[in-house]
Amino acid sequence: MKGQTTVRTAAAATAVVALLLVTLHLDKAASTTIPSGCLYSSGVFTCDYRFCTPLEPSMFDPAPQRLVIYNIDGGMNASLFPSWNTMNSTDFDSNYDASLTLSCLQGGGLMELTSASFDPGFQQLRRAKFGIQGGKMSAVQGNAFTGFTVRRNPNSVNPRGELSIIDVEFPSDTFPTGLLSSQASVTTLTLHKSGLNTVPADFLTHMTNLTTLSLDFNGFTELPSTLFAGLSALTTLNAGGIHWDCTCEKLWWIDYVAKHSMRITSEMLCYQPLSYYGQRTTMYHNNACGKGLQCDEGSLPAVNLGDVTCLTYLQIFIYTLAVLGFFGMSVVAGCWFQTRRQLKRNGAGGGGGGKGGGFTPRRNRVGGAPGGRAAPPGTKAGW
């Protein structure tokens, strides 16, 4: 009986907790204000550009910390987003980066970015993540991002100032000159599937805080040799899905990455020359661009011996003396053995006056003489 009472009490407590959670959820849902043309789910507002504008931050509750504006087809104009400079961000959840994502109309939407796209409406708006996704840029002015800043939030759980442009087609497949000049605070730049045929040499000139660069799946086949100039903070490079034209000159970045202890986390493959088609760029570089041993980096002058080893002049001198000493000792040993052998021969020959050591000419031998033999029958001695 006592056990049944305990079970009933626990069940009742569970029901009360569940009821409180439902009540809190309903109260929160009731307090959420969603503008017309927008949806809200899991802390993210998604707004249809065709039906939500003009859009003000006061129309949201809670504040739009993470905002997605989609179905853009035409010019992006800051006048359609009044008062965003006054938005209060003190209540933002530190578990998430403040983000703004712009997405073109599916099925071939066009987006136009001009100097009026973000300035002055977003001039004071700070976002840790900003992205443009899908569609085609009908026109892009080099100062289009002026007045909008992507900046790393140090109070975030995963702080990063990320600017991403994904699956966006630029006019003439060329990245607009100066477009990123106002984004000096960006630490992560992602530019995927944009069909870029070339990478401008001054592409990253002002992005001195950049740590991660991702250029996957674009149309260029090489990187300009001055691309990383001034980017002392850069630690990670990704450029997979690129049809690399593999030559020693064009793969300069492999030595740069190694020298600056950078990481490459994507697979980079050669498409030219055909003999290396589908093989890693590093394989081509190692086979065709090897510089051999670098023997001039030590404290003593050295010589490269056929890319096998490096020897200093002091080592060469010591080894030469050792070889000469070996041959000298070999000659001395040979002479000694030859002399000893000759002495033994001379000692074995003896002299003519020794006992039993003399030599008696054959024809002077007589019978009975020491060392002689008997003469044949019928002959005289001395035959």
CATH numbers and ranges of domains, the chain: 30-288 (3.80.10.10), 295-324 (no CATH)
Q: Distance (Å, rounded) from C-alpha 135 to C-alpha 168? A: 5
pLDDT over threshold 90, residue 166: yes
In this structure, the strands spanning 263-264 and 99-104 are unpaired
| Encoded tokens for 44 | 């993210």
Give the tens place of pLDDT for each residue, 257-314: 999 999 999 999 999 999 999 999 999 999 999 765 556 555 556 665 655 567 777 7
Give phi and psi for 65, each to the nearest 5. Answer: -65, -40
Query: Which DSSP letter does residue 33 get?
Result: B
Q: Which residues pair with 144 in a beta bridge?
A: none
Flag the least confident range among 15-24, 63-72, 74-83, 182-191.
Answer: 15-24
DSSP string computed for 19-30: HHHHHHHHHHHH
Task: With H, G, I as helix, E, B as strand and everything else as coil, classify residue 31.
Answer: helix
Q: Are the C-beta atoms of 89 and 63 separated by less than 8 Å? A: yes
Q: Distance (Å, rounded) from C-alpha 55 to C-alpha 49? A: 9
Band the pLDDT of 380: cuts 50, 70, 90.
Answer: low
pLDDT over threshold 50, residue 27: no
- pLDDT at site 35: 92
Relative orientation angle of helices 252-259 and 281-288, to the nearest 10 degrees: 100
Which range of 70-84, 258-272, 333-347 scores highest in mean pLDDT? It is 258-272
- pLDDT at site 15: 47
Query: Which DSSP letter does residue 130 get?
Result: E
| Encoded tokens for 179 | 């477009």
- For residues 21 and 44, the model is more confident at 44
CA 246 to each of CA 196, 267, 270: distance values in angstroms, whole numbers, following the listed order: 18, 14, 6
For residues 223-229, average pLDDT: 94
Flag the least confident range among 134-143, 199-208, 241-250.
Answer: 134-143
- For residues 373 and 47, the model is more confident at 47
> What Rg, from alpha-carbon coordinates, does the chain have?
46
For residues 221-231, average pLDDT: 94
Give the tens place of pLDDT for each residue, 126-145: 677 889 998 888 888 888 88
End-to-end alpha-carbon separation of the chain, Å?
A: 153
pLDDT over threshold 70, residue 367: no
CA 247 to the chain's CA centroid: 18
pLDDT over threshold 70, residue 110: yes
Q: Are the C-beta atoms of 213 and 234 separated by less than 8 Å? A: yes
pLDDT over threshold 80, residue 111: yes
Q: Which residues pair with 130 in a beta bridge?
A: 100, 163
pLDDT over threshold 60, residue 193: yes
Band the pLDDT of 22: cuts 50, 70, 90.
Answer: very low
Q: Which of these, 239, 240, 190, lies nearest to 210 by C-alpha position?
A: 190
For residues 247-266, average pLDDT: 95
- Torsion of the alpha carbons at 174, 176, 177 and 178, rounded to the nearest 10: -150
- pLDDT at site 347: 73
- For residues 362 and 242, the model is more confident at 242
Q: Distance (Å, rounded) from C-alpha 84 to C-alpha 67? A: 12
Task: With H, G, I as helix, E, B as strand and everything else as coil, classify residue 282.
Answer: helix
- pLDDT at site 228: 94
**What HEC string does 308-323 produce?**
CEEEEHHHHHHHHHHH
| Encoded tokens for 169 | 């087609």
